[in-house]
Structure 1
Amino acid sequence: MRYGASNTAEAVNSAFLFIFITCVALLALITCLMIAFVIKYHHSRHTQVVNIKGNAALEVIWTVIPTILVLIMFYYGVAGFRVMRVGPANAFQVHVTGRMWSWLFTYKNGIQSDTLKIPVDTTIKTVISSQDVLHSFFIPAFRIKQDAVPGRENHLYFKAYRVGSYDVMCAEFCGLRHAYMLSKVEVMPKQAFFDWYAKNKPKELPKVKPGASRTAQLAARGAQLVQLKGCTTCHSADGSKKVGPSFKGLYGSMVTVATRGKTRTVTADDAYLRRSILEPGADVVKGHLNIMPSQKGLLTDEEAESLIAHIAGLKGGKAEQ
């Protein structure tokens, strides 16, 4: 078995090894006994039927021993479960949000990232939820997996022991691009992590007068948001084909959409883009599926404006103020 990179991995590995060794030993024992009984009690050796009586001692043995083995397995399971579910009050907390089809990690100081960065040898509490459908937060190297459920928060505790990069996956089928719902856990030395944590605290967009400067600032924020909000999972910025329309050249173009079952052509202006972000099912672009989750209530007005400014900038134009 591959080494574990966390305290939870140690608990799961112990349970797995005990269950695996027990099963292999029982398989070997039962197989050998079956072969021995087939040979010993073959009908060619016993032409007369013999009335075999029960053996109380044997019945007690094969009841007590399996019961003990099952109780040991139960103990390992409970011990491992407690490691994941019970942690110190001062554990470092990160909120994990699953959405089609990416992960978002939010820290207490407001940092949002599509990569989970954590300090080594520190107990982490992950608060896990979903923005849309059922997902399952899975880090194989840490041996942890927890469902992300809409409208509900689950939590897991773990402590990473090894500095390095580890895979994050979704272990619950969640739609068309489920297999692409991948991310990374970056386990960092403590000092390096807390330096990053302090330096990357989000700053509010400066309040400046409307004009080109504001547009540039909004577009820069929008470029960050398309990564953080998982937009690039379905939309490209270079014209390449993905599940959703490419952002390149979209702003100001004529788009054929289906609105309430009727086909029409609209201009991809600010109003259209805002509606597509907040109510994606209102106008479904021809040739694409209606699978984008609504961002209503998940984006502020300024964030929506930033995304529009970024998309407008990919065409070379600029969004309305």
Structure 2
Amino acid sequence: MFSGSSTFVSEVDQAFLFILIISVIFFVGIVFAMIYFVVRYHHKKNQTVSQSSGNLTLELLWTVIPTILVLAMFYYGFIGYRNMKTIPPDALEIQALGRMWSWLYTYENGYQTDTLTVPVGKPVKIRVESADVLHSFYIPAFRIKQDAVPGMKNYVWFEATETGTFDIFCAEYCGDRHSYMLSLVKVVPQEEYASWYDGTAQFASAASGGAAGGGAERKPGSRGPMLVKIKGCVACHSIDGSPLVGPTFKGVFGHQVAVITDGKEREILADEEYLRRSILEPQTDRVKGFENIPMPPQNLTEEELAEIIAYIKELQ
């Protein structure tokens, strides 16, 4: 607690500690009072007891005191909530797209990555979206969490106060590999971030179809490793032959594959046409032995699709 990784840490932890202390005091007090009453007023034979119709002082105390405490808890919580929802106008904006089962971050220049990099001491606005099911963008060290809801654009912001690398989780169960939906946020000095951001321009151009490195001709499939990573393919499909939620990419091209088509089993050749159809229409020919799990839409361009297919062909 009070680690100081972001500007929200102090107020969130203070509210938590206040509620925790009050809860512990009441828990201990009530338990000891119950034990005392059990011992002090346990039933005795032939005992004459007095009857009381009420006690105004006690009734006022156990009404007023809890009301004050609840209002104090509300105050602490509301102040923190208000600060979290008031986004500074000069904040950097980055999109965080949740999809089964990875996070994709898109910067204002179009650069995409699966690791979030931000400057220290600068407010950062995260636009949280989902490509498929419910997810939740959660950075425990910064004390922030925001749901990613399909069809909605939600926002959360933070300002990191120290450099370092911190974990990012999905805090909403989203399927078989929910626990694998991990990412990192790297907080760097502002000068280092400015230099890094300027250097991403060539990669952003390459990802959108431009040629990095002065227009040099690229080998077909050279962007494949980057694309299958940032598009989230490797969250379900391995490139080393190991089994995941979906079939591996390694060694599939040029071989016969057992698939289920319209409820019937058949074998087809995994050629370029099959790879293209499996990416664009993954439910058409489902590989035998794997569940029919919906694949999130990727909005691939023709060039990106060709690069991924060329890369899969190389994985022999």
Normalization by structure 1: what TM-score? 0.91
Mapped partners of 2:121, 2:45: distance in 1: 66
Query: What is the correspondence of 1:56-135 to structure 2 with a 5 Å cutoff?
Result: 56-135=56-135
Mapped partners of 2:98, 2:282: distance in 1: 19
Give the structure 1 partner of residue 214 of structure 2. Answer: none
Give the structure 1 partner of residue 161 of structure 2. Answer: 161
Q: Secondary structure at the match of 1:219?
A: coil
Q: Is the 8 A contact 1:137 1:148 kept in 2?
A: yes
Q: Secondary structure at the match of 2:221?
A: helix
Question: Post-superposition shift, 1:148?
Answer: 0.5
Give the structure 2 partner of residue 210 of structure 1. Answer: none
Superposed structure 1 runs of 4+ greater than 4 Å apart? none
Amino acid at match of 2:96: V
Give the structure 2 partner of residue 314 of structure 1. Answer: 315
Amino acid at match of 2:195: D
Mapped partners of 2:255, 2:2: distance in 1: 52
Give the structure 1 partner of residue 222 of structure 2. Answer: 220
Mapped partners of 1:230, 1:102: distance in 2: 6
Give the structure 2 partner of residue 232 of structure 1. Answer: 234
Question: Post-superposition shift, 1:149?
Answer: 0.5
Amino acid at match of 1:230: G
Q: Secondary structure at the match of 2:251?
A: coil
* C-alpha spacing 1:206/1:190, structure 2 compared with 1 (3 Å): closer
- Give CA deviations for 1:256-298 in whole Å, capped at 9, x if unaligned: 11111111211212221111111111110011112141436x2
Mapped partners of 2:301, 2:166: distance in 1: 32
The CA RMSD over aligned residues, in Å, is 1.7
- Give CA deviations for 1:224-252 in whole Å, capped at 9, x if unaligned: 01111121122111212222111111122
| Structure 1 gap segments, 5+ residues each | 208-212, 316-321
Q: Secondary structure at the match of 2:141?
A: helix
Question: Post-superposition shift, 1:303?
Answer: 1.3
User: Identity rate of aligned residues, in percent?
Assistant: 50
1:281 aligns with 2:279: no
Q: Is the 8 A contact 2:2 2:9 kept in 1?
A: no
* C-alpha spacing 1:206/1:18, structure 2 compared with 1 (3 Å): closer
Which of 234, 245, 248 pairs up with 1:246?
248
Q: Is the 8 A contact 1:135 1:171 kept in 2?
A: yes
- Give CA deviations for 1:105-152 in whole Å, capped at 9, x if unaligned: 111111111011111111111110100011111111112111111110
- Give CA deviations for 1:182-239 in whole Å, capped at 9, x if unaligned: 11111111111111111012124357xxxxx55x1x4121110111112112211121
